[in-house]
Amino acid sequence: MKLKSSLLSPSRLAGRLRLLLAVAAAGLVGGLFQSLHAEDAALSAGADISRYYTVTPILPPPGVDSQVGGMAFLPDGRLAVCFHQGEVGFYNPAKGEWKMFAQGLHEPLGLLPLSNTELLIMQRPELTKVSDTDGDGVADRYETVWDGFGMTGNYHEFAYGPVRDAHGDYFVSLNVASNGASVREEIRGEWSPIGLDRSEFYGTDWKAVKEKAGRMYSRVPWRGWILKIDGKTGEATPWAAGFRSPNGMGFDAEGRLYACDNQGDWLGTSKFFHIEKGGFHGHPASLVWRDGWTRNPLEVDVAELDTLRTRAAVLVPQGVLGNSPTQPVLVEPGGKFGAFENQMLVGEMNYPRVLRMMLEDVAGVMQGACIPLFDGGGLNMGNNRLAFGPDGALWVGQTHLSWAGGQGIQKIMPTGETPPDVKSVKLTEDGFALTFTKPFDTALLKDPANFNVSRYYFEYHEDYGSDEMDKKAAPVKSVEVREDGTGVRLVLGEPLKAGYVYQFRLDALRDAEGNAILNPLFCYTAKRLTDGTDPEPGTQIPRK
């Protein structure tokens, strides 16, 4: 591990510091969960967010802990929301009124309306259909759709979903347990004999043995998996493994399934995965539930795990663009976010930010870049759930569950003025092609020094998180500017490296009218190069 020295010469930093302090000049707003205003947000420095987006709070129902676990619009245009303490409320945007629909759920973390009177809700113990059958506006039927997964009672065993595919089938995702706690005496489901003996989980000194359980563990079925639930029969099919905390799934315009996972053990940084059947996504605990698997995943060589794993479509660098990405939603064509149609937006817990994914197919794999939609602008932290409303706004539900985050509901409405932004990024054989949302100042685009690129990778290892490894500048050698200023082709001074993150800062760029670029920082994950080159297995694992 790289040594970190925090001793920095004030003189060396003076220039940067002046800029940063200017950015950070304004105070935080009050309340338990402070949000950062536009002028505080580091990444959008210099741009006036309110010109492009407005952020409006929605008053939560009175007396309800307003942490949002799930949120979606009903066919009739009301917003259905499930909250931390198990309530479900319907919000009528036209009237600004709440009506409570259901109660008593256990940590509901996902919601999917089936009609104006029926919701599918994923709560800790099960996928439940909640219905109002007598038309009085209040749920009177709670039907268990699927509870065929294990529960140890460990706090970290959260359950997410459902999302529905084009065939009407559902996907749900299940967390692994954390060795921050043991398991309860009574569990639900089969106990896997692989790993630390169950009796050890009940010893008096959990701290002494917890490492042997693994930092995160999967000892009851389907922990760390995404499963497909047949929309007609309710039958579950294990779909993909290797997850740690897959809080949020969504489909792109082509119906591909994506899910986020959170930085931690085995995850050098947070990830945005393209999910396909049979995939193993890197966190080994869940392998014990693979058909025929008999070995303790903690004892499997990391090099072997590295060959088994599916890499992320997009790495979300920790502390740079996000620490805890959440639900992806598709920007449907024809809406108010026209500049970004068919892209996906993803919530983020630790920053006042929503991320935008710029994906492409490179030699058969989906990969791409993440960039803020914007940063700050009055948005809270804890952006857990996203839903497009009939008004075209992006509604955002926030939570914290005692981690970093926020609570409440806000909506983001584009003003109609196209933000000066990077619209798409494509990998080329020797660099990147960027397209902008509007014409940019071509004089600035012509200068390679205005494209500040660095690259690094995240190590695949059991340890918690990863440093940015082999981080180096990747200077732009030449820029080819599209005549109208709507795009550039960048050639790097070094060959592209598969498996690396390419981090861009474009602070100097302005649109043709002189407006600062809204989001100068983004990161592209070169999962594969255009010629099909993948990272050599074993090159991004700890050196022996």
Partner 1 sequence: MMLRPCQSSALIGSILPACLALMLLSAPAAPTVQAKDVKVSLEMLSPFRFDPPRFAVEPGDTVRMTLQNLDITDQPHNFVLTVPGNHQGLVNAALALAEKGPELDYVPPGDQVLAHAPLLKPGNKATLKFKAPEEPGIYPYVCTFPGHGMLMFGALYVGTEMPKLEDDPNISKMFLSAPPVEVTRPAFQRMFLPDAGPAAIAVALEGDQNYCWDAGACRLRYLWQGDFIDAKDYYASNGNALAEILGDVYWENPEGYPLTFGGMAPESVKFLGYDIVAGVPEFRYEIDGVLVREHITALTGSGKPGIQRRFQIENAPGPVHLPLDMIRPSDEIGVKMPGGAVKNGELILEPRLAQDFTLDIYRRK
CA angle 154, 157, 160 (to 5 degrees): 160
Cα–Cα distance list, 12 to 9, 16, 18, 101, 473 (Å): 5, 8, 12, 59, 18
For partner 1, which is the closer residue by CB, 222 or 337? 222
CA distance 345 to 353: 10
CA distance 120 to 163: 10
CA distance 30 to 34: 6
E strands present in 363-515 = 365-375, 383-388, 394-398, 408-414, 422-427, 431-436, 452-458, 468-473, 476-481, 487-492, 501-505
CB 323 → partner 1: shortest distance, Å?
6
CB 358 → partner 1: shortest distance, Å?
18
CB 282 → partner 1: shortest distance, Å?
16
For partner 1, which is the closer residue by CB, 181 or 300? 181
Cα–Cα distance list, 469 to 1, 240, 476, 500 (Å): 9, 28, 20, 9
User: Hey, which residues does 325 pair with through a beta bridge?
Assistant: 348
For partner 1, which is the closer residue by CB, 66 or 486? 66
CA distance 288 to 135: 46
Q: Please, are residues 200 and 212 in contact by the beta-carbon 8 Å criterion? A: yes
CB 146 → partner 1: shortest distance, Å?
11
For partner 1, which is the closer residue by CB, 32 or 166? 32
CB 179 → partner 1: shortest distance, Å?
8
For partner 1, which is the closer residue by CB, 141 or 164? 141
CA distance 383 to 406: 7
For partner 1, which is the closer residue by CB, 128 or 515? 128
CB 21 → partner 1: shortest distance, Å?
7
The H or E element spanning position 317 is: none
CB 185 → partner 1: shortest distance, Å?
9
Instruction: Report which of 334, 289, 268 is spatially closest to residue 535, judged by C-alpha positions.
Output: 268
For partner 1, which is the closer residue by CB, 234 or 335? 234
